[in-house]
Amino acid sequence: MKKLAVIISSILLSSTAAAADSYNSISNLSYKNSDNNDTVAVDSIYYLSPKKTLGPYDQFEYINKQTNVYGGYADDDSDDVTKVGGEYFINEFVVGASYENTDLDSGSNRELYKLTGGYFFNPDLLAKVTLVENKDGDDYALFDLAYNYMLNSTDYVGVTLTSDDDFDYRAVAAKYFIDLQQGNYLTFEGKYESIDDAENQWVAETNYYFSKATSVFANYNKQDTYSFGAQHFINKNIGVKVGYENNADDSDNDAYFANMRFQF
């Protein structure tokens, strides 16, 4: 009987291990059509070591620990934005740098340079400081404290606290990932921002996974803008996402969006 229990346990463990997929690169090509604006965007991130999923093809650990480089470009009716950057992890430390340029159709542009340094107090607790050089405004610093609490071997609650150096900007973001067993998963995410001399903002989103490949989502924010849609991975490498967006106070402001996701 003991031998049988060991064999069953080994089979279950091997099945769980086999269920986890891993990727080195994740890229997105997206399009959004609205009454007032159309947007085309592309982004990609490359990890120098494999990044494992938590079941669903698009769900990973809350705090990233893989060295990476990334870039993105977005173009709409009023401006285009270019971003490049990367992070390097060594032992308990992480350093990063990024550049962002926004070209306005009016002829002007905005540039941001960022330098980041962080320290892992333990694998689930990361403190970071980001120095931002704003070519068209005041320079500032951002402080982040991210914590991941494992409820069991699969489920977690992740929380990130953020503030600027003057404490004029404060934010808290949280995510709850739940393995419902039998191949089903559920996530809840939210963010609340408190800004001096401006209206506070919040946004909430949930995703339900029928399987690793297929899910539906819904999103709502302080401005009464809501969106919903579905995502399906044709195989472990290619996913398609479509959705609809509108505003509860202005139903004429509707939009449709689609995204192609490539993971290898």
**Band of pLDDT at residue 143, cut at 50, 70 and 90:** very high
Contacts of 5 (CB under 8 A, 6+ apart): none
* pLDDT for residue 6 is more than 70: no
| pTM of the full structure | 0.88
Instruction: Read off the pLDDT of residues 174-187 as tens digits, 9 standing for 90 and up.
Output: 999 999 999 999 99
Tokens of residue 13, six digits: 């463990």
**Residues 243-253 as b or e (16 or more Cβ within 10 Å = b):** bebbeeeeeee
Asked whether the beta carbons of 238 and 8 are under 8 A apart, the reply is no
Instruction: Read off the pLDDT of residues 29-52 as tens digits, 9 standing for 90 and up.
Output: 999 998 878 999 999 999 999 999
Share of the chain above pLDDT 70, in %: 92
